[in-house]
Amino acid sequence: YVMLLTLSPYTPRYRDRVSPPGVMIRPYLNGFTIAFNVSQPSTWQPYVDSMHHFLAAYDDKVQEEKNIVCVSGKYFIQGGNESEEKKACQFKRSLLQNCSGIEDPTFGYSKGQPCILLKMNRIIGYRPGAGVPVSVDCKVQKGNESNLRSVDFYPGNGTFDLMYYPYYGKLTHVNYTSPLVAMHFTDVKKNYMVPIQCSLNGEGIINNINSDRFLGRIIFTLSIGK
């Protein structure tokens, strides 16, 4: 009990060997295969509904009410007592442009050009990229590279801005919303199972350990029928 009293509920005691971040995608429905037929809305509507549900916390009005505008390109370091509530930077869904669900409520699924969102796992105190934003790229994980001919990334060129880091923990960083990178698969081979690997790239990022498919990368399959 005495030892527990010496531990802080806000931050880990030892942070000198913080693990690199893992990643996850949205939508995530019963596995890592996203399969649908463009001509059958019932096959892609669940993905669309999942995206809208997930992005509700990122609505522009919600972000403007809860969070602040930050300075892009540098870490948002906040001092003061560790128990003080920390401010969070706005991440508006409009930043995701064609993958925001605003202009196209189907996130491209009705056109056979699905949007998929990538997020890094939260790690208290972690500053990714050592001062340089971490970027995302995608490629065919196995097979013919021409099966994936075009991917657009939002916001910007598909990077996680430094201003969203470090994360201070759920007890004090109450309104924190994880930054996202949207991947818009605008030209994928149809009627074919295309395995795709999307990876983080940056200083301190590990994305090549075969025994962990979520560490710095994620593998999923796109199967888009006509």
Residue 91, domain CATH: 2.60.40.1660
Q: Report yes or no on 95 lying in a domain.
A: yes
Give the integer Cα–Cα distance in Å for 222 and 168: 35
DSSP of 53-110:
HHHGGG-HHHHHHH-B---TTS-----S-TTSPPP-B---GGGGGGGSSSS-TTTTGG
Q: Report yes or no on 177 lying in a domain.
A: yes
Q: Report yes or no on 15 lying in a domain.
A: no
Alpha-carbon dihedral sign for residues 152, 155, 157, 158: negative
Q: Report yes or no on 51 lying in a domain.
A: yes
Q: Report yes or no on 6 lying in a domain.
A: no
Length of the chain: 226
Which is nearest to 197 in space by CA: 212, 169, 218? 218
- In order along its 226 residues, the chain shows pLDDT tens digits of 455 444 445 455 444 445 688 999 999 998 899 999 999 999 999 999 999 999 999 999 999 999 999 999 999 999 888 889 999 999 999 999 999 999 999 999 999 999 999 999 999 999 999 999 999 999 999 989 999 999 999 998 899 999 999 999 999 999 999 999 999 999 999 999 999 999 999 999 999 888 787 899 999 999 999 9
Q: Could you tell me the CA-to-CA distances from 131 to 16, 172, 208, 219 in Å, in that order?
A: 17, 24, 22, 27
Alpha-carbon dihedral sign for residues 21, 113, 62, 42: negative
Backbone angles phi, psi at 79, to 5 degrees: -90, -150
Backbone angles phi, psi at 145, to 5 degrees: -65, -25
Angle at 34 between CA 33 and CA 35, to 5 degrees: 105
Q: Report yes or no on 182 lying in a domain.
A: yes
Which is nearest to 224 in space by CA: 169, 185, 180, 183? 185
Give the integer Cα–Cα distance in Å for 39 and 47: 15
What pTM, to 2 d.p., does this model score?
Answer: 0.89
Q: Report yes or no on 122 lying in a domain.
A: yes
Q: How far apart are the first and last CA of the chain?
A: 62
What is the count of structural domains for the chain? 1
DSSP β-ladder status, 33-37 and 217-225: parallel
Q: According to the model, what pLDDT value does residue 90 have?
A: 98
Per the structure, the complete domain to which residue 49 belongs is given by 20-224
CA 193: distance to chain centroid?
Answer: 23
Q: Could you tell me the CA-to-CA distances from 212 to 65, 122, 129, 209 in Å, in that order?
A: 38, 17, 20, 6
Q: Report yes or no on 10 lying in a domain.
A: no
